[in-house]
Structure 1
Amino acid sequence: MSYPPDPNNPYGQQPPQQPGYGYPQQAPPPAGYGYPQQGQPQQPYGYPQQVPPQANYGYPQPPGTIQANNGYINIANVGTVRLATMGQRFLARLLDSLVTSVIVGIALFGGLAGVIGLADKTRQDCTGYDFASQAWSDCMDQNTQQDTNIGLAFFGLIAIVAVFGLLYEWLLVGLAGATIGKMAMGLRVVREADGQNPGVGGGFIRFIIPMVGYMVCGIGMLLVYLSPFFDNSGKLQGWQDRAAGTLVIKK
């Protein structure tokens, strides 16, 4: 049988409970939770503080970065530029072909006309000599020499034309960054690394690879010029551009 505790009996009373005794003590709420703490900047309740955006957010991009395959690329020392389309490059190549054809045609026509005219003046008529005479033999030898000179002059003109084609594409692209056709279309060939002209070495590489393709296989040059269609990087680099480290851009 139990009795209620006597309020006057100090031994029968339970000791008062201290804060946290018998119950798990709750950790104080973190600073800034629910209400701002004194001495600390106030932040919006329930939302993280946003960092202010930086100027030109997302720029500059690393060199060589294609921007969403939209035809633009970032080049060191140049900035964001537009890549030349295949249609623009084709028209520039067509203009270059017309320019070189006109120049080569004038050179060949003028050179051959001069050589043949000089040969006709010096060529002798051997019909008046006796067939068995020494004079007839000397006349024929001289005419044969003239024919040989005409042949050598013809091959010399071919060599001059080849050198012109080499210097036209090689030096103009290497030193100026563009041929006459590319200048007319507002195109320029630059190094992908720094945006400068390809230089003598880069221009020679861009020229010689199509020539090797032409000599090795009849359609090799055509494949080289069409190779930008096979570039999956979006930079429209042909095999000659990859070897030289160049890009064709629209100024």
Structure 2
Amino acid sequence: MTHRCAGMPGFLLALGMLAIAGCQSPRENLETLAAAHGQRVEVLQTRDYPLAYSAARIPAAAPLLRVYLEGDGRAWATATQPSLDPSPRHLMLAQLAFDDPQPSVYLARPCQFVTAPGCTPAMWTARRFSPEVLVSLEQALDQLKRRYGNQAFELVGYSGGGALALLLAGRRDDVRQVQTLAGNLSPAEWARELELTPLQGSLEPLQYRQRLATIAQRHLLGGDDRQVPAAVAAYYRRQLGAASCAQFVSIAGASHEQGWAQAWQQWRSRPLPCANSQQ
């Protein structure tokens, strides 16, 4: 593997060593973070897209496995140019997963940290919530269930991972609860609010609104989040209805990427609305 740091002149070597972290690939950064927590990044092979994941030692047949679903990552290099690599540079969600004492798995999205023939920019831009993406994630959950023997899942989605968590909960009968951080709960409404081109080829969680209304869920919203405005969660809440099992919490001072470590530590283990009825 060749890096930009290779071939560095000798007189710059000392300076280069100070900046070596900046020369690592996103996959190497994830592996370094995982190793610091006694974990190892592995790959789940699904039909279309291999998925990177990492898990702590999980007790055999844990009744509920918490799966952290990564956000959209670096979908765009500029406002008009898609990124060539959607792997997240900011590993906030992986850090939260690795710090979680509960049996947990960190699961990346298709084309993040590992590539495949189908990895084209459309898969992390317009089609980021497409049926192909959902199928790969569902197959990954099936494999995790066979590997760890859990009976059910709790899905924790960050940013666009929130939309995927809800889509999976709407399609599966083994997702008992969902939590999101700065979650994009309605990609269609999100595009309208920000006056963006609609995500052609992507699915909308609210197509499963009747089922989602019965799922125990909590959505932590950044009080200073400008990337996913509070109006998106408000729209999702109205569409779900007042009788739903959803809780919405605004985290003061949290932006889209900052302020989540302390908030998650406070909220991750609190009981969710309707959780007892989902057992």
Give TM class, smaller chain: under 0.3
Higher relative contact order (CA 8 A, sep 6+): 1
Could you tell me the TM-score, scaled by structure 2's length? Answer: 0.21
User: Based on CA coordinates, which of the two structures has the bigger radius of gyration?
Assistant: 1
Greater share of helix? 1
| Structure with more of its chain in strand, by fraction | 2
What's the TM-score once normalised by structure 1's chain length?
0.23
